[in-house]
Structure 1
Amino acid sequence: MTATRDTAADELAGLDLPVNGPTGRPRTEFPIPATLREHGPARIIALCNQKGGVGKTTTAISLGASLAEYGRRVLAIDFDPQGALSAGLGVSSHDVNNIYDLMLGTIKDPHDAIQTTSMPNLDIIPANIDLSAAEVHLVNEVAREQILARVLRKVSDEYDVIIIDCQPSLGLLTVNALTAAHGVLIPLECEFFALRGVALLVETIDKVKDRLNPALELDGILATMYDSRTLHSREVLERVVETFGDKVFETVIGRTVKFPDASVAGTPIIQFAPEHPAAQAYRQLARELIVRGAVA
């Protein structure tokens, strides 16, 4: 039986017919994108999930670096008081201007907080623990849900993509990110308890769309930490595809120790281990976003 299946697979490969990927759909080869002749205005993408540890920051770093590698000008916004995005890109987040200063109006010009990274075309506005006080300080502000949108408006013409790495909650900061964004990307760990919270997040996205940001749309759901060896991972991914259909990206991010290794090095995985399957997966995600029209 095994020999027959292997032979059949070889024959299919020889005929160059589509082979199903992890999502059960025919595997697509997304082409390398053309070089942009001009830059901006940016499309703003918020990476959201109220559950922690699902790969938001890893995706923000790796997707941002992959898009930058394809010639897109990318600005990453660290919008989590833990400052993991800043650390993962190897930039200082203490004793420097950061997103908290911009939210409170301590500094007016976002250029004063933007830092370059080791990756050409990829910049960042960092964050640190001070951001955790933002919700308290902003509670009495007029149009407090739109503060981040006003900040990003000042630099959006200089970038092709702005990626916001949200904190794992559905509080005022996340609402700010959703109000500023054009699209939402939901990283979803292939684990049952991660799946349970997606309905609440989609409900929050719908409320923001209805009340604050009619242009907001769900760009897609990205399956992360997938392990094809486990039945549980496969079943969760199957359930997600059944529920959300084409909103689930064809690209699936596998589980690997290379991600924490790259984070410790303060370098995106596409620089840390450029030929690793995880780096290739995020390059594919970048190409898929471009093909879907979510990125220029």
Structure 2
Amino acid sequence: MRVVSVVSTKGGVGKTTVAANLGGLLADAGLRVLLLDLDSQPTLSTYYAMNHAAPAGMYELLALNLTDPAQVLSTTAITGLDLILSNDDQGRLGTLLLHAPDGRLRLRNLLDTFRPSYELLLIDTQGARSVLLEMAILASDIALSPITPEMLAARELHRGTLKLLSELEPFRHLGITPPPLRLLLNQVNGNRVDTQRIIRSLRESFAEATDISVLETVIPDRVAYLNAASLGQPVHRIETRQSFRRRTPSALETMQALAIELFPEWHEAISAVDKCVEAR
């Protein structure tokens, strides 16, 4: 099971939208996908309609080590896409894990239960520095960080997310290597004068880095993503073809490109999603 955490210490960069749409696309590609909502504001938990809502969720998973699938796994209306609901609205987990001996490693130590049942775990996180965010990163194979092409977001990346990753380096002494960071340019408005300059600067900044890279895929600022969220559907089902008025790829093509860039081993299944969409 591949584990990807969608992370940023800055709110409003589109973490939940990326996690929901990436999970929806890969489920439509025939993969078994589990979403874990670690945000105390449970946006991901309400993104898709539920076929079954489990009686427990992320609080019981992390506070009580409850891994019984019948208790913690909810099923969405998207075939192959399951969810562990966020149910810590009072924010108790942060304090609990902060003082637990295994707090930052709790999730990593619980994942073996789910590995036989899923090919991918996608973790949505809160847009702030916390022990939950650190725990998610240390459990992951890849940290995916959406970043909007604006100067404030670029500055927050350096003093927030990158600083956090550097502070997790001591876990290497325990045999735990912090995951590589993949930066995803999100909500890109090509009409802004400074957009391309900021994107170019970001790419140049990490051109020589070994564990940090800027993905080639760029997600545009398009109404299709808002419409998809309103409808509770993955965006690739909503916008399947490139508009004659736009030169940017369709949402289907964009999400396929992102998924293939992150998971080249699933290239064939991801590329076939367009046929699944047409068959609906």
TM-score category (smaller protein): 0.7 to 0.9
Which SS does the other structure have where 1:215 is aligned? coil
- Structure 1 residue 113 corresponds to structure 2 residue 86: no
Q: What residue in structure 2 maps to residue 226 of structure 1?
A: 188
- Structure 1 residue 208 corresponds to structure 2 residue 168: yes
Q: Please point out which of 252, 261, 285 is paired with 2:218.
A: 252
Q: 1:95/1:115 Cα in 2 relative to 1: closer, same or farther (>3 Å)?
A: closer
- Structure 1 residue 282 corresponds to structure 2 residue 255: yes
Question: Deviation at 1:84?
Answer: 0.8
Q: What residue in structure 2 maps to residue 48 of structure 1?
A: 7
Question: Deviation at 1:55?
Answer: 1.1
TM-score (norm 1): 0.78
Q: How do 1:129-278 residues align onto structure 2 when only pairs under 5 Å count?
A: 129-130=88-89, 132-199=91-158, 200-211=160-171, 214-245=176-207, 247-275=213-241, 277-278=250-251
Once residues 151 and 93 of structure 1 are traced to their aligned partners in structure 2, the CA distance between those partners, rounded to angstroms, is 23
Question: Deviation at 1:145?
Answer: 0.9
Give the superposed CA RMSD: 2.5
Once residues 220 and 254 of structure 1 are traced to their aligned partners in structure 2, the CA distance between those partners, rounded to angstroms, is 17
Alpha-carbon displacement from aligned partner over 1:134-180 (angstroms, at most 9, x marks no partner): 11233332211111112222102321111111100111110110111
Unmatched 5+ stretches in structure 1: 1-41
Q: Is the 8 A contact 2:6 2:125 kept in 1?
A: yes
- Structure 1 residue 87 corresponds to structure 2 residue 53: no
Question: What is the identity, as a one-letter code, of the residue corresponding to 1:109?
Answer: D
User: Which segment is superposed worse, 120-129 or 50-59?
Assistant: 120-129
Q: Is the 8 A contact 2:52 2:76 kept in 1?
A: no
Question: Deviation at 1:93?
Answer: 10
TM-score (norm 2): 0.82
Which SS does the other structure have where 2:194 is aligned? helix
Question: Deviation at 1:111?
Answer: 4.6
Which SS does the other structure have where 1:247 is aligned? strand
Q: Is the 8 A contact 1:118 1:267 kept in 2?
A: no
Q: What residue in structure 1 maps to residue 25 of structure 2?
A: 66
Q: Is the 8 A contact 1:46 1:181 kept in 2?
A: yes
Once residues 253 and 62 of structure 1 are traced to their aligned partners in structure 2, the CA distance between those partners, rounded to angstroms, is 11
Unmatched 5+ stretches in structure 2: 243-249, 270-280
Once residues 279 and 81 of structure 1 are traced to their aligned partners in structure 2, the CA distance between those partners, rounded to angstroms, is 30
The size of the alignment, in residue pairs, is 254
Once residues 70 and 5 of structure 2 are traced to their aligned partners in structure 1, the CA distance between those partners, rounded to angstroms, is 20
Q: Is the 8 A contact 2:23 2:35 kept in 1?
A: yes
Q: Is the 8 A contact 2:260 2:266 kept in 1?
A: no
